[in-house]
Every structure is written in C-alpha cells, then in structure tokens.
Amino acid sequence: MTRRSVGRIADVGAPVAGHAGPKSREALAAALADARDYTRRCYAHLAGGDPVFPCIAIVNPARWELGHIGWFQEFWCRRWRPDDRAGARTPARIANADALWNSSRVPHDSRWALPLPDWAGIDRYLGETYADTMTSLATSGDGERYPYELSLYHEDMHGEALLMTLQTLGYAPPAGFPPPPGVGRAAPVRDIAFVGGALGMGSTPDDERERFVFDNEKLRHRVDVGAFAIASRTVTEDEFAAFVDDGGYRRSDLWSEDGRRWLAVAGRTVPAYWRPCGSGYEVRWFDRWRPLSPGTAIQHVNAYEAEAWCAWAGRRLPTEAEWEFAATRAGSAVGARLDAREAGPGAAEAGAGAPAHLLGNVWEWTSTPFGPYPGFAPDRYADYSAPWFGDHRVIRGGSWATRSRLVHARFRNYYQPHRHDVFAGFRTCAVG
C-alpha cells in the first residue's frame, strides 16, 4: 500500500442485529464450564516450573491471577448479598482470600509478596469455586443471573489477559496452540463511505434480555455522526514496516505531545516484539521468532504508534462513535476471527462492500478517551468502569483471543494509550 492509496466505494446500509449471549441456566452452565476449562489450560504448562514473573505493571503473578479468577467467581456467585456487599457473612473457602485476591484493595506490586497457595492449592480452589457456582446456579431464577454472567465474562477477559502475559514475557503458548501461518501481501485497502446520521449509541434495557450489558454501555443515547470513510481492513505488518523504514520512530513531527513523551522514555525504534533481521524484520510469537508476515494484521502497537502511523499516511483513527456506526450498519461479524481458534491474527482481509474483521482478529484503537455515557450509573460491580474514566482509551471489536460470547458491536474495552501488550492494531479513516 502506498501512503494514500485508499479507494472509495458506495455507502452501505441499515443497522444489523446484535450479539446474544448465554442467558438460561443451561447455557450459562455450559459457558462457565468452558471458561473454567480454558483458564486451567492457559497456564497448565507452567505449573511444574512455578515461574516467578517479574514485577512489572502489565502482568500479575501466575498463581495470583488464577486465584483471583476463582475468588471473583466465589464472591459474586456464592458470597455476595445485596445487604452484605463485602461478603463478610459468607466466608471464602480459603482463609483470608479477600486480602489475597480482591484486586480493588490489593495493590498491584504487593501481589508478589502474598502467602499464596501452591499450584495444587490454586487448582483445588478453582475446582471448589466452580462446583459451588454450579450448585448456586441450579436454583437461580430468571432475572437473578447477573452474578453468573458477570463472573463468566470476567473470566473470559482474564483468559485473554493470561495469553497477553505469556506473550509479554516470552513464554511458550498453551499446549495445542499452533503458530499462525504466514500471510502474503493483503488485498488493496479501500475506503467504505458512510453518509453519517443519527446513531443510537450504546445499549438499551431491551438488550439486557438478550445479552449481558456492562454499565459503560448504558444507556443508549443519540449521537449525530458526520459523513466519514473508514478503511475496509486494518493496517498490516508490511504497511507498518514501511513507516518504520521511513524513519517513523525518529520523526518527532509525526507524534503527538503525549506520544513524544512516551517515545522518549520507551526508546522504541520498532514495534514491541519486532527485531531487524537482514533486510527485513522478525516478529516474536510467544517464545519464538517468525519472519514478518506482510498481509497479517499488525498487533501490539499502542495508541501513540497508531496515531504516528496515521500522521505519516495522511489518515486518522476513527472516533468511537464512527466505529460503532460502521459496525452496527455494515455487519460487524464480517470475517470474524475469535475464540483463539488460531493463535494469532490472520490476514487483514478487505471486505468487498463492508469493513472486514470489525469483530475479531485484532482489537482496534479509536481516538476517543474512555468516559461515561450520559446518565451513567455504576452497576453492582462498581469498580468495572468508573475508576478508569479519563486516562484510558477506547478500543473496539475484539481480537483473535477474545471470546465470541463476550464481544459485539457495542462492547467497549479500554486500555491506557501507552499499552502495547494488548492484541490491538488499528484501522484508519480518511481525513476531511
């Protein structure tokens, strides 16, 4: 792709249906069983060595994170009561569990010095908390399953975080994860033009009958979106390499003020997990290096890197509203690549008449700071969204490692803009 070689096609049409998640007892039971099995498999290959992870801000100790997953499920599905939010009247199965695993009260850096159970003890706790949850779920009625849905999606999110940690630290992937195949050059990218209009942004009470709705999606409100044109696919490794080769990391004019501050500290000259190799680059996939894959969607770039690439290419990141407008009108599941069926992003496919991979493949950075919608009120799990308003950036769409039952066109995720460990890339919009 040349720096501005983006064509344009006709506007596309009406909103499409949303995602439906498990709501019945039977569907939730199956999903919870699947999530717990997935959690155990993600770190099963580490148990024998009991590795000590370095104390860095973007990872948690292995046994701490696994125990936290069990603690969260136990707290919400067995111990939580409306008149006893702290769970004091129903003790945990492990003494002092709240002091070990309540992430809202246990500072990050202290987690390396806690008296955590050994691997066998953690695995036993995961089994016991799951069994308790199944017992409780069996007697739950319609309208009483918020704790089970919350626990399910919390575990799904941590399942992706476990893979992020393995990638960050260069550990082997879980057993059975084949490396993704190399991809030749991607099909030419084009712009998909939208005339804009009124967007009902966010979710409604009716949506809650079909799927779980997090508090930051509430409530649906009108946003007037101007005409815009969004790329049919995300930026590829080859396209990002062209920016690197053109001195992109050395050109301060391409970087925002915040981006320049980050770059001065990070000292980055190539993306995270890249290294020069001959006349090209290699990219680290967990514990091994592979040649750059030209047509594969770029991942592990942060928001500042995405913005610098956009400045170099004469493009911009979409706003959150533009992304949702495109996803709800163009068919957000086009080319979906989810559920870690393949261990890495695939080709940045270009949709013929709609943006491809709006769901799956890689998370997509937007230009929008994470904040509340009008009328926001925290749900029972009050720490899910509100503490992160202001200094995080919205990402949308899900990655190859995201569970399909979690993500949909209105789902909002959020990370600080300097984070590169996320399975995130970006697509762009035309300027003007």
Residue 391 forms part of a structural domain? yes
Q: Specify whether 117 is located in the same domain as 195.
A: no
Each residue's pLDDT tens digit, 52-89: 999 999 999 999 999 999 999 999 999 998 887 777 78
Whole-number pLDDT of residue 17: 38
Residue 217 and residue 103 share a domain: no
CA dihedral 380, 385, 386, 391 (to 10 degrees): 170
Dihedral sign for Cα 397, 263, 288, 159, please: negative
Q: What percent of the chain has a predicted confidence (pLDDT) above 90? A: 82
Are 131 and 86 found together in one domain? Answer: yes
Q: How far, in Å, CA of 116 to CA of 71, rounded?
A: 12
For the segment 376-395, what is each residue's pLDDT rounded down to a tens digit? 999 999 999 999 999 999 99
Do 331 and 279 reside in the same domain of the chain? yes
**176 part of a folded domain:** no
Mark which of 144, 172, 198 sits at the end of a domain.
Answer: 144
pLDDT at site 165: 98
Where residue 393 sits, what CATH number does that domain have? 3.90.1580.10
pLDDT per position as a tens digit, 268-307:
999 999 999 999 999 999 999 999 999 999 999 999 999 9
Q: Are residues 202 and 88 in the same domain?
A: no
Is residue 166 a part of any domain in this protein?
no
SS (H, E, C) the chain: CCCCCCEEECCCCCCCCCCCCCCCHHHHHHHHHHHHHHHHHHHHHHCCCCCCCCCCCCCCCHHHHHHHHHHHHHHHHHHCECCECCCCCCCCCCCCHHHHHCCCCCCHHHHHHCCCCCHHHHHHHHHHHHHHHHHHHCCCCCCCCHHHHHHHHHHHHHHHHHHHHHHHHCCCCCCCCCCCCCCCCCCCCEEEEECCEEEEECCCCCHHHCCCCCHHHCCCEEEEECCEEEECCCCEHHHHHHHHHCCCCCCHHHCCHHHHHHHHHHCCCCCCCEEEECCEEEEEECCEEEECCCCEECCCCCHHHHHHHHHHHCEECCCHHHHHHHHHHHCCCCCCECCCCCCCCCECCCCCCCCCCCCECCEEEEEEECCCCCCCCCCCCCCCCHHHCCCCEEEECCCCCCCCCCCCCCCCEEECCCCCCCCEECCCEECC
Q: Flag whether 67 is in a domain.
A: yes
Side chain identity at residue 244, one-letter code: V
**From CA 355, how far away is CA 190, in angstroms rounded?**
9
Quick check: 186 and 295 in contact, CB under 8 A? yes
215 in a domain, yes or no?
yes
Q: What mean pLDDT is reported for the chain?
A: 92
pTM higher than 0.75, yes or no? yes
For residues 265 and 361, state if they share a domain: yes
> Does 165 reside within a domain?
no
Bridge partners of residue 284, in order along the sequence: 289
Question: Would you say residue 158 lies in a domain?
Answer: no
**In this structure, is residue 326 part of a structural domain?**
yes
pLDDT exceeds cutoff 80 at 347: yes
192 and 137 in one domain?
Answer: no
Name the domain count of the chain: 2
Residues 380 and 283 in one domain: yes
Same domain, 222 and 296: yes
> What are the residues whose beta carbons fall under 8 Å from the beta carbon of 28, sequence distance 6 or more?
22, 137, 145, 148, 149, 152
Pair (239, 357) in one structural domain? yes
Q: Can you give the residue range of the structural domain that contains 49?
A: 25-144
